[in-house]
Structure 1
């Protein structure tokens, strides 16, 4: 199943949230130089805006606030590190295996920690997005588990798409797993994900037709002292649970990668 997953995986995201850092701007040049050495030389500042409710005199007013984030990309635009005052996110469209993915992400986290002197983490998460595209002569039924196709078969006629969703908790890990089956269309991204200038795999970008999306989002939300060993272990455990959800969503003949 390694070959299938490497071809169907179009975005993998790791995230570590930490106590808010108020002095990030004054250290950004040092962080940028370190990411340049770590083969992510292209940097961009991203501005976003939120609306806060503040109490003024005897009433409440909506006050817009602008937030800065910094994106560091590799030359091929297949991976991004995004840093803001309380979070480091790593995105890649070129996932190969969990070991090399975690090595790269933790290298970036180490850069940030060495400069900002972080003390604790608030949340550790991993999200995996897959697009199953039938090979020539194959159908979606050859890739998905019966439960994911059952609704299409029972309704008959022409269904545009169907979607199933489950929220699951296993020990400290919380996992949201969504499966969307589309009869026709191009590559989709969840609404909460900004691809920026990410370069995706050509076969997943150019294909339009029947496909299925598996979006698995797992995280552990609790305050913990900074520990790279613990972060790596937690992300590996989340990935293992995501693999179980993936195996339950695909056709039984595809098995599961151990």
Structure 2
């Protein structure tokens, strides 16, 4: 009986000791695990700090080297602003011609016809044609248009009847002239115009002239140069006066003879 109780008590003691060792082992294992994790964290944190420190040193040296070797690029100069487009002043062009219908029905230039050997009628109808237009195709207002023939002025377009060009403005007129009187026919067409944006007018004119027969002298004829006066003939030198004859002294001779 006593032996059985002792056996039972011994078994409980062994079981308690084993349980105690198991608890102590678990606690020790947990403590070791915590210490290992803490050490690992310390190692990782230290390495991270070391890497961060090395990176900062590297980039600091890189920036210092870059700033000391390579200068900042100079930006290109700013171009000046583009000026506004300059408006062209008004510019008009007038033209004029004179023609004569020949026997073939074609029109010949008056200058070429009458300044050569013309053998036609004396009284002929010639046609003057005029045109006015804008040089650059910019719209302009023609305020005055004047035609002059041999001093006679005709206003084709007075200011009250101003018109706009382009399109080109053309017109013709016929005049009866006598081409057998030997004279110069002078004509002129002149136009004045304005353009929006400009206060000054622009103008243009063209002259046309031709002569028939003997051309009209352009000025007083130049007289030929006057020759210098002919000097009178030089008289021969006057001979010296003839000296009076030299009188011989009285000289007589007396002779005598006896026979």
* Same fold at TM > 0.5: no
Q: Tell me: higher relative CO, structure 1 or 2? Use CA pairs within 8 A at least 6 residues apart.
A: 1
Greater strand proportion: 1
The normalised TM-score by structure 2 is 0.26
The normalised TM-score by structure 1 is 0.26
Larger Rg: 2
